[in-house]
Amino acid sequence: MELVQHLDDKLLFAVPKKGRLAERCTELLVGADVQFRRSNRLDIAISTNLPVALVFLPAADIPTFVGEGKCSLGITGHDQVEESNVKVDDLLDLGFGKCKLQIQVPADGPYSDPKQLIGKTIVTSFIHLATTFFTELEGKQPGDKLDTVIKYVGGSVEAAVALGVADAIVDLVESGETMRAAGLKPIGTVLNTSAHLIASKSPSHPDVLQILKSRIEGVIASNRYVLCQYNAQRKDMPVLLKITPGRRAATVAPLEDDTWAAISTMVEKSRIAEVMDQLASNGAEDILVTHLANCRV
């Protein structure tokens, strides 16, 4: 890490070095044309086409390095940002790495409501978020001593109940399979989370930061949307434009026949089949869908 001291001419971009977000972050950087080569033994990679240095860090540490250190940009979970309680600019919800920070209790136990856990022992690696949640649940002020005991465990949190350390846990849950295998069930959600692009309040290279933000927005949009084009009679357009309003507005172009128009609009991938059915049922013709490799939005 001593190399960081000699990178004043680079924007430092912190990304997860391993875990659930790392692979998706690498794909995102490739889509944004941030070219780099990383040695297996180094946690820093210099971009070959941009004045950017990638710094590979544990996801939990990234908010601190962005909010209080020299890193200008970072990608980490929204849960880690909230847990760190560090001031950063939250630029984008990247839409991947979605999961929930949940309260989990024994599936065959007596608890069905988080209020029943007041005065009990909770184990978590999210001390700040768990403390905030139970402070509000107990109706106390921040800093007051809690009746609930909250203990920190860095890993294998789901085993804490079975091993007799806790009455319940607060931990991240994706599919829920791990929790069910540990004999646990959810009774409350502390936070919904996903990967976010965050920035320093005082970035070192604002111009480069804006370029990266714009590129990443384009990659996210191209993954989320398709371009839908169709022809329609102008008399049908009020109904059709309600079906395909676009991200901001649809593009309408005239055709040689004045009673017809060509319409181009962005539609969410997850809805495109339904949208095409609705368009066809309401008079649209020549409906075409184009997948986006990249874009700027």
pLDDT at 33: 94
Element (H, E) at 242: helix 237-243
Provide the pLDDT for residue 38: 81
**Backbone dihedral angles phi then psi of residue 259, each to the nearest 5 degrees:** -85, -5
CA distance 175 to 171: 13
- Residue 161 is predicted with a pLDDT of 93
CA dihedral over 56, 59, 61, 64, signed as positive or negative: positive
Do 183 and 158 form a contact (C-beta atoms < 8 A)? no
Locate the DSSP E strands across the chain.
Answer: 11-16, 44-46, 52-57, 73-77, 89-93, 99-106, 121-124, 149-152, 168-173, 184-193, 195-199, 225-233, 251-254, 260-268, 285-291
Predicted local distance difference test score (pLDDT) of residue 175: 85
The confidence score (pLDDT) of residue 92 equals: 95
What is the predicted pLDDT for the residue at 21?
87
99-193 and 2-96+195-204 share a CATH fold: yes
Residue 110 is predicted with a pLDDT of 93
Tell me how far apart the alpha carbons of residues 259 and 281 are, in angstroms, rounded to a whole number.
Answer: 19
Write down the residue that tokens 């329609």 correspond to.
232
- The Cα 82–Cα 58 span in angstroms is 15
For the beta carbon of residue 158, count every other beta carbon within 10 angstroms: 20
From the candidate CATH numbers 3.40.190.10, 3.90.1150.10, 3.40.50.300, 3.10.580.10, the one assigned to the domain spanning 2-96+195-204: 3.40.190.10
∠ at Cα 92 (31, 14), nearest 5°? 65
Q: Which residues of the chain have pLDDT under 50?
A: none
The structural architecture, per CATH, of the domain 225-291 is: 2-Layer Sandwich (3.30)
Of 6, 2, 5, 7, give the one whose Cα is nearest residue 208. Answer: 7
Domain boundaries, the chain: 2-96+195-204, 99-193, 225-291
Rounded CA separation 287/240 (Å): 12
pLDDT at 6: 64
pLDDT for 295 equals 86
Assign domain 99-193 to its CATH superfamily. Periplasmic binding protein-like II (3.40.190.10)
80-94: pLDDT as tens digits: 999 999 999 999 999
CA 155-160-164 angle, to 5 degrees, is 150
Q: What is the DSSP-derived secondary structure letter of residue 146? A: P
